[in-house]
Amino acid sequence: MSSDGFARLTADEAAALIPDNAFVAFSGFTPAGAAKAVPRALAERAERAHAAGDPMRFRVLAGASTGDDVDERLAQAEAIAWRAPYQSSRTLRKQINAQQAEFVELHLSNVGQMMAFGFLPRPDVAVVEATDVTRDGRVYLSTSSGVTPTVLKHADRVVIELNRRHTPRLAEMHDVAILPTPPHRSPIPIHNPLDRIGTPFIAVDPDRIVGVVETDEADGLAPAAPMNEVSERIAGHIVEFLLAELRAGRIPPQFLPLQAGVGNVANAVLSGLGSHPDVPPFSMYTEVFQDSQVELMRSGKLLGASTSALALSDGLMDEVCGDVDFFGERIVMRPTEFSNNPGVIRRLGVIAINTVLEMDLVGCANSTHVCGTQVMNGIGGSGDFVRNSFLSILVSPSTAKNGAISAVVPLCSHVDHNEHSVQVLVTEQGLADLRGLGSIERSRVIAERCAHPSYRPYLLEYLESAPKGHIRQHLDRAFELHRNLVEHGSMLPEVASGV
């Protein structure tokens, strides 16, 4: 026993407490704040069991994607039978698409409620990274919140990974609350991105904490991918568009909070907004606080950020943790029930920027499935923001695989965001503002402004020759580009026809 009153366990001892087929919930939202030592030990235990003829597997839940120590390592050990609500592991993705593992993708804002009502199982064991735990059961989370507070509320048993790498002062950024279940909900009193409504810790019955595993490990996020010409051109279109909206009075003079997904396009947009003298200082109401936002905050252009995770490369994480006097009052970390809450997103008037795989002439978008069948990562939080933002912008390079794939197609092979929610589509070719456009005008604008020149003539011909209707589609040709890709390795019509 230590001063906090909990038994100290090795990672192997903690892993031994998790039975076969257990429902295991891990902390983490991206690699930020993800459990590390125990899932590695659990993977090794599963491999030993498999070698002995025991098909040991587990059902796994985390706030979103996690670090390699959870999804990738457990998938390599063939130890994941079921996963929710989001993942980004290469090995697990292959297993899901081969139907070797079940995958339940969910809007991130819904996960806590689904667990509270029993649509998701009550975790048998929760493995949670923290910077501190007290004798009376106060758990201080590390670099993310995600769904961890709800998991700690409902788990039968809890293992704490006490990570000495992260400063306990991260508690100054956490704002932990749990939504009551309907019909006992009052309006969430968040009227500004930095409003706080909870406590810096989550209280857990100490009798459910079975032990503490001490670690000293960084989250292991690599620096953000450098911006390229395509991402910079996309960012340029978005910055120009937002400035025009600001000058026209459709964005208020103090600007509106931003949300940006993960990746180099989001970083390019934020960099462009941050460096433009006509853009006023702004705030963010988002899911992840990324590398590009550290310098923006240092410069005074980013006034503050509400997030669910500090998804920072290790060097910048050390910088933020080493200067909590500056960052602590400018960053609020919330559970996804609040960071992704539809009502709060609408109240604040968030401008959202998210990436998609493909967009169609109807105005729908696909974030998740290649050719409608092969999942990439999952919908994550994009749907929470696309449907509820004041202004929703969806972006994609116009082509992929050296031009073999067009991001603009007649009909999406899978729809995550329908035309009633999609407002603005952007590729490096241009920007299509779809607000107020009828279906045919919308289709032409998407083809003319977003499609790559290699595909634009095909798409315009497809539209003009389609039978008339409120929405024009050839039922026999709607997935012709996708069939070309599957059968010939390229969507390009001339490749498919042998020209």
Running DSSP on this structure, what letter comes out for residue 29?
Answer: B
Pair 411, 362: CB distance under 8 Å: yes
Q: Rounded to whole angstroms, what are the CA distances from 465 to 244, 441, 468?
A: 35, 15, 9
Tokens of 292: 């590009």
Q: How far apart are CA 417 and CA 363, in angstroms?
A: 9
Neighbouring CB atoms inside 10 A of 437's CB total 16
Pick the closest to residue 131 from 111, 90, 160, 92 (CA basis).
160
CB contact set of 469 (below 8 Å; sequence gap of 6+): none
* Ramachandran angles phi, psi of 249, nearest 5°: 85, 10
Structure-token pair, residue 223: 């620096």
By CB atoms closer than 10 A (0-12, 13-18, 19+), residue 10 is middle
Query: DSSP of 301-325, one letter per residue?
Result: SEEEEEESEE---HHHHHHHHTTHH
Number of H helices, E strands in the chain: 18, 26
Strands (E), 325-428: 331-333, 351-355, 358-360, 365-366, 369-370, 374-375, 391-395, 399-400, 405-406, 408-409, 424-427
Residue 494 to residue 491: CA distance in whole angstroms: 9
Whether residue 100 contacts residue 122, with contact meaning beta carbons closer than 8 Å, is answered with no
Give Cα separations from 348 to 140, 200, 201, 354 (angstroms). Answer: 28, 23, 25, 18
DSSP 8-class letter at 453: T
> What six digits make up the tokens of 135?
């004798």
Residues with a known catalytic role: 287
Cα–Cα distance measured from residue 375 to residue 125, given in angstroms and rounded to the nearest whole number = 28
For 230-262, give one letter per residue: b (16+ CB within 10 A) or e: bbbbbbbbbbebbbebbeeeebeeebbbbbbbb
> For the chain, what's the residue count?
499
Beta-bridged to residue 133, according to DSSP, are: 139
CA dihedral of residues 243, 244, 248, 252 (deg, nearest 10): -30
